[in-house]
Structure 1
Amino acid sequence: MSKLILLDVDGTLINYEAILPESAEKAVNLARSKGNLVYICTGCSKAEIAQRDFRTMQLDGMIGANGGYVESEGKVILHQSLSKAEVKHIVDWCNARHIGFYLEANSGMYINDYYLEDGPVAMAKYIAGKGKEIGDISEYKENFGKGYILKHGEDLYRDDVNKVSFVLHSYQDHLDSKEEFPDLIANTWGGKGEEALFGDLGPKGITKKYAVETLLDYLGMDAKDAIAFGDAQIDLSMFECCGYSVAMGNASEPVKQAADYVTDDVDADGLLHAFEHLGLV
């Protein structure tokens, strides 16, 4: 019986420097050659995933935007985005507070001027908090904006945005966002111990669990044949609806406690070792 394998991306499939370990590439390709289906299940939107170097690795589809987008073999199964009015509200609120943000759309990642200042600092903290170091911080800051599209004024009022991530100057920004946008889901994400470095806002009712259940229904598969892999607490909803769950060795403690099995770190061939343990390769 083939399995549905669901992989979180950052910290699970790739490391926190966005590098795909050769062992993970091997694991995915071998698992698919045995008839298993492999989908990524990530907070990233399609445009961000397109910037990753997956080399020869092939996938059957993706769940993106923490569940707001589902694609299978090139066919869009689900796409729930923010309305243009909601995006305008978020953009204006962030700009009024001088907060850097990026709009996560399948067509690209759109940023304001403040993100060119806030983004490199927050992302450097994110990478350092996951145990990695940026060699030349000046070069990192200089190259930081290359993966984004800078827009101004009304050009940021878009109708194709899956969710919005913004830099937290303090945790109060997240608390204020929950009050300002009661009709949206407000999350945080970040570095060591899942320190809150970023806030994000997306459509209510959208979770990885909801998207996985949508995909299972589309594929006509049973939840008992689904295996979820993750490292962060936002992956817990994915664990809930899958028959088996695996936490990476670099996962946070609550994720390890919730998982059926804990493998090695992403950089210590953890994905391949778990695939071997489960007989997927």
Structure 2
Amino acid sequence: MTKNRSVIFFDIDGTLLDSNKKLPNSTKEAVFKLKEQGHVVAIATGRAPFMFENLRRELGIDTYVSYNGQYVVLNGKVLYKNPLRTDAVEKLTEAALSHHYPVAYMDHKDMKTNIPEHPYVKESINTLKIDRYPSLDPEYYVGRELYQALLFCPEGEEKQYEMAFPEFDFVRWHPVSVDVLPKGGSKAKGIEKIIEKLGFPEERQYAFGDGLNDMQMLSTIHNSVAMGNAEEKVKSVAKYVTKSVDHDGIQHGLKMMGLI
């Protein structure tokens, strides 16, 4: 490794992808410029691997932290897995059903729901603008490793689940949907696994993000950059703030950091 090489982690929604879930040309050009210069470019997202396969292919990226740190891949090979406890998922499902709330089960290949049709599922999943919609399989959690679940409920309702299920972290990403993750799991921990393998010193580590699930990553990585479209509390934990994703924020940020 030369001393000028760095590793750069990018969130997807609101960071690599703009408000219309499109990849700006300036971002694509900037990422390829990073790669041409020998830097390691990686993704750190709350999305499942199958939700950004096309983006990985378009950008030529094969190192990523998915499911907010629960499923980590380095150079196309699985490096780290942190699945949910199956017995706790079953109990969470029972609790959700008692309030007529759906649950989605997610592994590295697919996602399934336990209720055939529900407006909360449609409303939240459609905002991701992906070509994969969860099909029905109420027992998908049985006999397989799940890295995340989705609990579909209105804002504030997750509090009762937080109290009842201390083995999970609940992170809201939509007014009617909450990510359910293993307790203590985060993008920062997934990134740590990659850093341990690659050996980059902290001054050669960079991260770009905009969401609440990026806060630990941005507060941990030495050179952290919040997008201009991020909430103020996200910006407050980052060392730097770039322009909005809709105004060439990635390209601007990378130039600001002297990487391109």
| TM-score, normalised with respect to structure 1 | 0.83
Give the corresponding residue for 1:214: 193
Residues matched between the structures, number: 257
Equivalences for residues 202-281 of structure 1 within 5 A:
202-281=181-260
Query: Is 1:184 equivalent to 2:187 in the alignment?
Result: no
Query: Is 1:166 equivalent to 2:151 in the alignment?
Result: yes
Query: Is 1:74 equivalent to 2:53 in the alignment?
Result: no
The one-letter code matched in structure 2 to 1:242 is I
The one-letter code matched in structure 1 to 2:193 is T
How far 1:100 moved relative to its partner?
2.7
Structure 1 residue runs without a partner (length 5+): 128-143, 191-195
Equivalences for residues 59-138 of structure 1 within 5 A:
59-113=61-115, 116-122=118-124
Structure 2 residue runs without a partner (length 5+): none
Greater CA drift, 112-121 or 218-227 = 112-121
* Paired residue secondary structure (2:259): coil
How far 1:62 moved relative to its partner?
0.2
* Paired residue secondary structure (1:227): strand
The one-letter code matched in structure 1 to 2:109 is S
CA distance in 1, matches of 2:124, 2:108: 23
* Paired residue secondary structure (1:40): strand
Give the corresponding residue for 2:137: 152
How far 1:262 moved relative to its partner?
1.3
* Paired residue secondary structure (1:164): strand
CA distance in 2, matches of 1:159, 1:175: 27
How far 1:66 moved relative to its partner?
0.8
Equivalent residues of 2:71, 2:108 under 8 A apart: no
* Paired residue secondary structure (2:61): coil
CA distance in 2, matches of 1:234, 1:245: 14
Equivalent residues of 1:216, 1:223 under 8 A apart: no
Pairing partner for 1:58 from 57, 60, 82 = 60
Greater CA drift, 259-268 or 65-74 = 259-268
| TM-score, normalised with respect to structure 2 | 0.89
Equivalent residues of 1:246, 1:259 under 8 A apart: yes
CA distance in 2, matches of 1:22, 1:43: 23
How far 1:54 moved relative to its partner?
5.4
Distance 1:17 1:94, change over 3 A: farther
* Paired residue secondary structure (1:154): coil
Distance 1:145 1:276, change over 3 A: closer
Give the corresponding residue for 2:20: 17
Looking at secondary structure, tell me which structure has more helix per residue: 1
Greater CA drift, 86-95 or 181-190 = 86-95
Distance 1:272 1:166, change over 3 A: same
CA distance in 2, matches of 1:257, 1:277: 18
- 1:183-210: CA deviation from partner (whole Å, max 9, x where unpaired): 11122223xxxxx442221112211221
* Paired residue secondary structure (2:46): coil
Greater CA drift, 106-115 or 73-82 = 106-115
Greater CA drift, 150-159 or 227-236 = 150-159
How far 1:90 moved relative to its partner?
2.5
Give the corresponding residue for 1:131: none
CA distance in 2, matches of 1:100, 1:152: 12
How far 1:69 moved relative to its partner?
1.4
Distance 1:161 1:17, change over 3 A: farther
Identity level (%): 27
* Paired residue secondary structure (2:147): strand
The one-letter code matched in structure 2 to 1:165 is L
Query: Is 1:48 equivalent to 2:62 in the alignment?
Result: no
- 1:68-127: CA deviation from partner (whole Å, max 9, x where unpaired): 111110121111111332322223322232213322211112123366421233457x68
Query: Is 1:32 equivalent to 2:35 in the alignment?
Result: yes
CA distance in 1, matches of 2:243, 2:219: 21
